[in-house]
Amino acid sequence: MSDFVSNGWSLFVAAATVLGLALCLALLIIASRRKVMAADNSTGHVWDEDIRELNNPLPRWWMVLFVLTVVFSVLYLALYPGLGGYAGRLGWSSTGQFDAEQAKAREAMRAIYARFDGLPVETVARDPQAMGIGERLFANNCATCHGSDAKGSKGFPNLTDNDWLYGGSGETLIETITRGREGTMPPMAAAVGNGEDVRNLAHYVLSLSGSPHNSVAAALGKSRFTACAACHGMDGRGNQALGAPNLTDKVWLHGWGEPAIVAMINNGKHSHMPEHGSRLSPEQIRVLAAYVWGLSHERP
């Protein structure tokens, strides 16, 4: 990929652009210097015995438009980016225009968001207007992963069930949306033992939530759970400071049953939630956090 963003690539684009304009001018000059190829001013090409191709000059209006096109191209390339890495005299860029439009939109919305600024998330969640705005923010920024109904899917948390990996308070939600999250469970098979030990541990994990399991295997796997206790706790109730899931509540983010748990122990898992602090203003994030908080709490 570095080959496409190097200085050589920029020079190539600039050279190709200039060469294209030069060829257009050359074509214009050549076409203007017509030569009579036969006594009857034809090119000598004949079709259907009597249809001859004449060597007439190009129409003047066509020539004028051709010249104007070349002149416009030169002026455009002088003012706007088009010659490789040259930014143009106006300094315009699509990124700059996007940022300017975003800033303008945020300024126009500032008055609406100002009434929610500084209020507790739980208070904002009671405002119907804020929830309407939050719903649209959620649809545009969160629904791709968590679903339009916020119920998530395998690997993407359900935001309506009040089960939170990092905590569900208003300020925690603001932090999560602003900074994103990185969740990592390392492969634990080497620390647990052989394949049979891993299967026994999987049944013990199932037993913690009262899920169907093999009780004999679970009893054998209990001692192996010490390898997991550092994050999930000896009681298996998890640790929100680390984002370690509660294993006793029958909420299975990455799949349920022996095969899913065995795969998790053997392979580990890395989850990533992108940060939104660079995309949304603090006021928007507060309203969005209030909407998410309200999904798992009763509102008037």
**For 230-244, how does the pLDDT look when each residue is reduced to its tens digit (9 = 90+)?**
999 999 999 999 999
Alpha carbon 23 to its chain's center: 41
In this structure, which amino acid lies at residue 106?
A: R
pLDDT of residue 1: 43
Percent of the chain with pLDDT over 70: 95
What length does the chain have? 300
Q: Are 242 and 231 in contact (CB under 8 A)?
A: yes
In the chain, alpha helices (H): 7-32, 60-79, 94-114, 121-124, 128-141, 143-146, 170-179, 189-192, 195-208, 215-221, 229-232, 258-267, 282-295
Two tokens at 119?
């209020």
Residue 262 pLDDT:
95
Look at 76-90, 156-170, 235-249 and tell me which has the smallest mean pLDDT: 76-90
Q: Long-range pairs for 204-208 at CB < 8 Å and ≥24 separation?
A: 205/236, 205/247, 205/261, 206/257, 206/258, 206/261, 208/236, 208/247, 208/248
Confidence of residue 56 (pLDDT cuts 50, 70, 90): confident
Q: Give the global pTM.
A: 0.70
Per-residue pLDDT at 177: 97
**How many angstroms separate the CA atoms of 95 and 229, rounded?**
48
The owner of tokens 């049953």 is: 257
